[in-house]
């Protein structure tokens, strides 16, 4: 996919960032909903112009019973 993502705020170019890990003291930040598989990756994209951030989830396959 070579299509360039555009920022919804300023129409600038979005770039793929690094994997987010958020820990603040004894608390951690989780981005999950019911039914998610532990270990799914969160992939950030940020605007090179204004700094706007969008988070996307790369989902792992669930095991069948």
pLDDT (tens digit, 9 = 90+) per residue, 30-64? 666 666 666 677 788 999 999 999 988 776 665 55
Tokens (6 digits) for 52: 């706007």
CA atoms within 13 A on the CB side of 32: 12
Query: What is the C-alpha to C-alpha distance for residues 26 and 10, in angstroms, rounded to an integer?
Result: 36
Output 34 or 26, whichever has higher pLDDT: 34
Q: What is the pLDDT of residue 21?
A: 58
pLDDT tens profile 4-19:
789 999 999 999 987 6
Of 25, 13, 24, 17, residue with least CA distance to 41? 17
Q: How many beta carbons lie within 10 A of that of residue 4, not counting itself?
A: 8
Confidence label for 1 from pLDDT (cuts 50, 70 and 90):
very low
Q: What's the pTM value of the predicted model, to 2 decimals?
A: 0.61
């Amino acid at each position: 996919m070579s299509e360039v993502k555009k920022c919804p705020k300023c129409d600038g170019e979005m770039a793929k960032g690094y994997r987010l890990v958020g820990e603040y003291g004894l608390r951690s930040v989780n981005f999950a909903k019911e039914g998610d598989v532990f270990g799914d990756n969160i992939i950030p994209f940020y605007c090179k112009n204004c700094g706007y951030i969008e988070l996307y989830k790369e989902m792992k396959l669930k095991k069948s019973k």
